[in-house]
Amino acid sequence: MTDLLDSVTQLTQTHKKTVYTVDGFEIHDRPALLDQLKDAVFGGMERTGGVGSKVKLPVSEAAVDLHELIDQQIAEAWAAATGKIPGVMTPKQMLTEWARVVRPESVVVVTHPEQYEKWDEQKARMVPFVIRAREEFLPDALAQHWVTMIEDFLNPERTAGIKAPCIHCGATKVPRRKDGETVISDALVFRRDRDTDRTLDARCLNCGTVWPPTQFEFLARAIGLTVNVAPQEED
């Protein structure tokens, strides 16, 4: 249960975080991840200089969607383990109680929305519809899944575009979703560690082919140039 409790601590309490710098590493206090996600959605209260304050708008649709998804999944897991109906308890309170009562070998079922399209005869076009798809986790894996989703949102994976076509599929650009909109990115990218900025690998976002650092020279020769790593907008 140690992994489960560690993940729940990160989600619900102020905790220690190791931050790597050019001078080594430092240990900082980090707010609960659920609090950080809530702040990302609502932005807190903004002082206006006069009497009172105003609420900031959500920063992005992605923040709102992730906040709602994790709150819903926590409620689902908690209700299944306790047999109670969600009421006035906060997600942090439900998560803390769930971690105390859930059995480590239990299979926890949560849901997430998936969007599909179907043909509408009256409108003579494809129309979207959403279903709640089921996922199964062991408790420690589910808690770590929530940690990973929030950390990936708050501190996105760093990439740098390679201005060359993929040697496997030939793609040069790919569409991706960001903040509810479709943007175009380089297909071939270097992936970098969030904390150290160390290059982890090169990969094609179109076909999924991955080249580890030991193959960087091969990749450079294959695309016929000295690889020029241009900074790309972070996801």
Same domain, 90 and 173: no
Phi, psi of 111 (to 5 degrees): -125, 160
Q: Please give the pLDDT value at position 225.
A: 64
Q: Please give the pLDDT value at position 44.
A: 42
Same domain, 93 and 33: yes
Same domain, 52 and 133: yes
Same domain, 142 and 172: no
- pLDDT tens for the chain, 235 residues long, are 678 999 999 999 998 876 655 566 678 788 999 999 988 887 643 333 333 444 455 456 778 889 999 999 999 999 999 999 888 899 999 999 999 999 999 999 999 888 788 888 888 888 888 888 899 999 999 999 999 889 888 877 788 888 899 998 999 998 875 654 667 889 999 988 766 677 888 989 888 888 988 898 899 989 876 544 444 444 4
Same domain, 135 and 116: yes
Same domain, 31 and 103: yes
Specify which residues 20 forms β-bridges with. Answer: 25
115, 130, 154 — which closes off a domain? Answer: 154
3-state secondary structure (DSSP) of residue 15: strand
Same domain, 176 and 224: yes
Q: How many domains does the chain divide into?
A: 2
Same domain, 89 and 195: no
Q: Please give the pLDDT value at position 148.
A: 87
Spatial contact of 29 and 15, defined as CB atoms under 8 Å apart: yes
Same domain, 31 and 131: yes
101, 121, 154 — which closes off a domain? Answer: 154
Same domain, 148 and 163: no
Q: Please give the pLDDT value at position 114.
A: 83
DSSP secondary structure string, 91-106? HHHHHHHHHHHS-TTP
Same domain, 164 and 204: yes
Same domain, 133 and 213: no
Domain span at 169: 158-231
Q: How far apart are CA 20 and CA 24, in angstroms?
A: 6
Tokens matching residue 14 = 């102020």
125, 154, 183 — which closes off a domain? Answer: 154
Question: What pTM was computed for the model?
Answer: 0.66
Q: How far apart are CA 45 and CA 40, in angstroms?
A: 12
